[in-house]
Structure 1
Amino acid sequence: MKLYYSSVTCALSPLIALLESGAPHEVVDVNLKTKTLDDGTDYRTISPFGFVPLLELDDGRRLGEGVAIIQYIADRAPEKNLAPANETFERYELQGRLNFIATDLVKNYDLLFSSVANDEVKQAAVRALKQHYAWIDGILSEQPFFYGNEFTIADAYLFTVTGWAKLVNLDLSGFRHLHDYLNRLADRPAVAAALEREQKKN
């Protein structure tokens, strides 16, 4: 498998998932400013909108959208328990957590990254994020991971998106369980390896 990737994006979560799964893979860096690969290839010939992440399978098929990609990776390595089995209630619960991150968290971070959103809009986004993280902190006070007692792709995604807090100066220090959780995740070998690669490319 081939993961088209750029630092400080949602592409970190499928990279973590790939490393956790142990699946053979190649990471291809994308310059999002120029929409090109290191060899000069126009990335829009691969991904029409120039978005990352994008997963290319060994047979040439391509899968976009991070939430879909991380589920595909999890299902290719069921023995790693990165997601509950398909067609179970637990799988739909996990998908609910993934969609929560993709919508409620990401949309508010997008407002904080925006160069056109005014202060009132940004303050509303901060309040929404604090409310969401209070809910997450409550979950983490009762269990070690965002969905249950084992690491799943929901943790890879939450870790990735929450890492943006420092980039927008969002203070999450009041959420003790979240803080401990992030530190534990950062110590996982797959997460540490993904972060090391991310930092080298920044």
Structure 2
Amino acid sequence: MGNVAPAPAPLMAFSLEPLDPIPIVDIRYCRTQPTSIVIPKRLYMTHIDCSLCTVDGEPLFHWDGRKTALMDHATSPTVVAHMSRKTHSHINMHKVFLESRFLAKHQIMRILVDFPALYHPTITSVVESIDGDRVSFHVSGEWSERSAILSMSRSPFETPVVVARIRSHGSAASPFSEYVIDVVPGVDIAAVVLVCIAIDRIASVLRGVLY
């Protein structure tokens, strides 16, 4: 599993031992190499469509802002993860439904985000992998300052394993600014992105930025 990492290169994901693939959205997103993906502000502060690319400019996903859906392609998607949130009750919970060319639409995630302390989220998640395993995500660090760690465990008794790091992007860093997710090899990048989007969209709702 993961061990203490050496100092990371400026534009690369931090080097932790690769994990066995844990497909949640799609096995294609469990890469064998570290991946660093940029999350733009308009994704979690507006209803505008946008592309999600690596720090090297490689397109990975398309975000449909009106449908709140993460897709593998803007016009001809084969995998769609749709996020649903009630606006009058349980506003801090997202449900994620997956549909693909091979699978009918079904729920794969329930992500509950609370902010018991200002800008410090806690996550209660129920996530089911393609293999039927149930996994939970955990967050620690200064989320609003883009200095946090995302970890994952298969049971309450299992020690969480680091799966991603959140870091600021660009020179003008400010609270809830654009950021980068560094994802450990073997971890489903799409699942990590969906959890991070849920956290930031709830933060935007609580701050009155998004409705």
TM-score by shorter chain over 0.5: no
Between Structure 1 and Structure 2, the one with more helix by share is: 1
Choose 1 or 2 for highest CA Rg.
Answer: 1
- Greater share of residues in strand: 2
